[in-house]
Amino acid sequence: MSTLPVVAAVDGSDDSLRALDWALDAARRRGTGLRVAHVRHHSVWTRPGAPVVVPAPPEADPVLADVRARLAEVETPPETEYVGLDGAPGALLPELGAEAQLLVLGSRGRGGFARLLLGSNGLTAARDAECPVVVVPRPGREVDEVLPAEPGPRVVVGLKVDGPDDATLDLAFTEAALRDARLQVIAAYPWPIQTWGAPEEVALPVDQEAIEHETRALADGFLAPHRARHADVAAVALAAPGDAAGLLVAASKDADLVVVGRHRRRLLAPARMLGSVTHAVLLHAASPVAVVPPAPAEE
């Protein structure tokens, strides 16, 4: 397993402390170090004649000092490094992912509007970081519809049968193995099928059972090599009609983690994008969400 650390982004908020706890657990499970980073947002503009503000060094950072005191009470914590950075969090947080197994942050920080479900820094990091980004939501998020699931540890992953992403599946299987959890694979297919034709043409009936069977067969085919590498993980594919985002949010209730992929770059869309499904899951899932960038060769 990689020796790169798990990075927790903190700012002193309750949201970031929940992310710290999640990152601490992830570092322990992976047998790696923990890096705690605080990006101090200092304005580059000051009025003429104003005194120059010299940022505090990392060892004098009160946010990092509080984290040190918190981790000092933890039994056998992993090797921990503290990093203080000065600048815009939206620009610096994604850069932390260049040397990390995971980048973990809370759904919102100290800034922004209280009604926002997800802060701009979380969205930016999930979109731009080179490593998987885990966003830990606030407790108590309600999920309107819940998919039935057996009790016990469970990791959920979304699978597009018309464009599967091995990096996303690999992280999902890895996390399930680390947590001794079942893996619930959600493969959504559109229903009802919209058919178009000339007015005089008769629309042929569409067999939903056949579509569901084909979707499950495709999913099982894509899962086969991952199942072979992780024989200890019980992975069950669920082919279900409807919107992929809605199904993943419904499955997030009582899940340990939901894993989704980031939008691939394409010739006519070269910029990095989250994708509508991933964006919706980040906003509404009740569990932590891991956003996985596509493999470099695919980008």
The superfamily in CATH containing domain 6-136 is: HUPs (3.40.50.620)
Report the SS3 class of residue 7: strand
Residue 60 CA, chain-centre distance (Å), reads: 31
**pTM of the prediction?**
0.85
- Return d(Cα 264, Cα 259) in angstroms, integer: 16
Report the SS3 class of residue 90: helix
Reading the chain (299 residues) residue by residue, the pLDDT tens digits are 568 999 999 999 999 999 999 999 999 999 999 999 999 876 444 455 444 444 556 567 899 999 999 999 999 889 999 999 988 888 899 999 999 999 999 987 555 444 444 567 778 899 999 999 999 999 888 888 888 888 899 999 999 988 889 999 999 999 999 999 999 999 999 877 655 555 666 555 578 888 999 999 999 999 999 999 999 999 999 999 989 999 999 999 999 999 999 876 544 444 456 688 999 999 999 999 999 998 765 44
The per-residue pLDDT for range 123-176, each reduced to its tens digit, is 889 999 999 999 999 988 888 888 888 889 999 999 998 888 999 999 999 999
**Is the CB of residue 134 less than 8 Å from the CB of residue 22?**
yes
Burial class (CB in 10 A: 0-12, 13-18, 19+), 139: exposed
The per-residue pLDDT for range 75-84, each reduced to its tens digit, is 988 999 999 9
Burial class (CB in 10 A: 0-12, 13-18, 19+), 130: middle
- Return d(Cα 182, Cα 251) in angstroms, integer: 13
Question: Matching CATH topology for 6-136 and 154-292?
Answer: yes
Four-way CATH pick for 154-292: 3.40.50.1820, 3.40.50.12370, 3.90.170.10, 1.20.1090.10: 3.40.50.12370
Domain spans of the chain? 6-136, 154-292
